Amino acid sequence: MSTLAWVSGIPEIMSAVVGDMSGAVTDVAGDPEGETTAAISGFAATSLAEVGDALGLGSLEGFSVAGKDIAVVVTVMGGMLITTRVDPAKPLAAVEKKLASVLRG
Amino acid sequence: MDQILKNIRDLAGVHGSFVFDSAGRLYAHSAHAVFDAGALEQASQIVVKALDTIQLHYESWETMSVRFSDGWLLLRSVGSGAGGAAEPAPMFLAVIADQTLNFSFANVAIRVATGKIKKALQGGGSSQEFGPPSSRTSGMSFNPGYSNASAPQISQIPVPPQPPGVSSSGLSWSGFASSTTVGSSAVSVADQEASAFLSVCARALAQSVGPMAKVFVKEDVRKATGGAPFSSAHAHMLLALLETHIDDPADRAAFRKKVGV
């Protein structure tokens, strides 16, 4: 079963994009702007990894973005970036736990 | 401001907190000695790159939590700075924490602090306590290679036929519509001709920078128009901005040729 299939099985996940740190997209489900999403995640992740080095926080494992009508979780896994858009009405922390459980086992 | 940041720093697991603006300039900080002002300003400048990118796609973002193997970086949008600048710069709060951070507890404390910082920013604060650096610049740079006299007119620029596969490349301008703004990250255009011109720009730029091209075009359209609908009057400024993303002179020349300059 592909990463995308695993992630898409979580009911709170509205869309998912699998890409890499360079912003290249490898798989998309439910995101009409998948290529842009992957590029944004790749670019942001590269900068954030640099911040982790500068502040001695270690390697980047992921990040989440939240706002009034937005909830996104980006997970770094073996050089891949899995960007998932989450239903903003659902508690983000709970979805992050589910994602970690699915992706990291 | 110092007391607000100190209160955050007093939380278990927190090593420091700092406030910076959209140009990466440090405004205030309270952190353990290892994070001196220089290190925090350097970090701010890198974080801003990530936030600029996030802002393009997720305009309504308010909070960002970044997880590292050895800790956390928590980011909050705290509104705009005051202090007499012509255009107040967006401001951000960052909190550095280790793995022992009680996330739920910290979130509440940071939310309270964010409210206080917003209030302090709206009030302006005293120059000693909180204020913008004296050497404020616009943060925008323009390539002087274009002049008004040589500004290309959109109507003069041929729109090439769409090559096979482009419709699925993510470079089509489905987010554009005449005089309207569609989607959270779209920009508005004055007419279909302007929309077509932006498509040409994005495809040409993609040859050099890849899938970030569309993102750069949207960002630079906003800079060039100041929020107004994009039209031929903004073309020369947009092209000057877009060129700054291309390092290689040959690629830059190819870009100019592709957009018909």
Cα dihedral B242, B244, B248, B251 in deg (nearest 10)? 10
Task: List pLDDT tens digits, range B175-201.
Answer: 344 333 323 356 788 887 888 888 888
Contact yes or no for A43 and B63 at CB 8 A: no
**What pLDDT, on the 0 to 100 scale, is given for residue A99?**
87
CA distances to B81, B104, B196 from B112, rounded to whole Å, are 18, 13, 47
Residue type, A32: P
Residue B174: predicted pLDDT:
40
pLDDT at A78: 86
How many other C-beta atoms lie within 10 A of the C-beta of residue B2? 11
Q: pLDDT higher for B92 or B227?
A: B92
User: Per-residue pLDDT tens for A81-94?
Assistant: 999 999 999 888 88
Q: How confident is the model at residue A59 (pLDDT cuts 50, 70, 90)?
A: very high
Nearest CA in chain B to A31: B170
Cβ within 8 Å, pair A39-B43: no
Q: For residues A17 and A39, is the Cβ–Cβ distance under 8 A?
A: no
What was the pLDDT predicted at B32? 86
CB B27 within 8 A of CB B21: yes
Is the distance from CB of A99 to CB of A73 less than 8 angstroms? yes
- Residue B173: its pLDDT value, please? 47
Which ipTM was obtained for this model?
0.94
Q: Is A32 on the interface with B (CB under 8 A)?
A: yes
Q: What is the pLDDT of residues B115-168, one digit of tens each?
A: 998 888 877 554 334 444 433 333 333 333 444 444 455 545 544 444 443 333
Q: Do A60 and B47 touch (CB under 8 A)?
A: no
User: What number is the average pLDDT over the span B5-14?
Assistant: 90
Residue B90 has pLDDT above 80, yes or no: yes
Bridge pairing between strands B26-31 and B176-177: unpaired
Please report, rounded to a whole number, the percentage of residues in chain B having pLDDT higher than 90: 23
* Model pLDDT for residues A13-32, shown as the tens digit of each residue: 999 999 999 889 999 999 99
Mutation target vs B (from A26, A31, A36, A59; most B CBs, 10 A cutoff): A36
Cα separation of B221 and B187, whole Å? 7
Residue B248 near chain A (CB below 8 Å): no
pLDDT at residue B208, as a whole number: 83
Confidence of residue B171 (pLDDT cuts 50, 70, 90): very low
| pLDDT band per the 50, 70, 90 thresholds, residue B206 | confident
Give residue B151's pLDDT.
46
Of residues B228, B164, B175, B236, the one with CA closest to residue B201: B236
pLDDT band at B209 (very low <50, low <70, confident <90, very high): confident
CB contacts of B218 in chain A (<8 Å) are: none
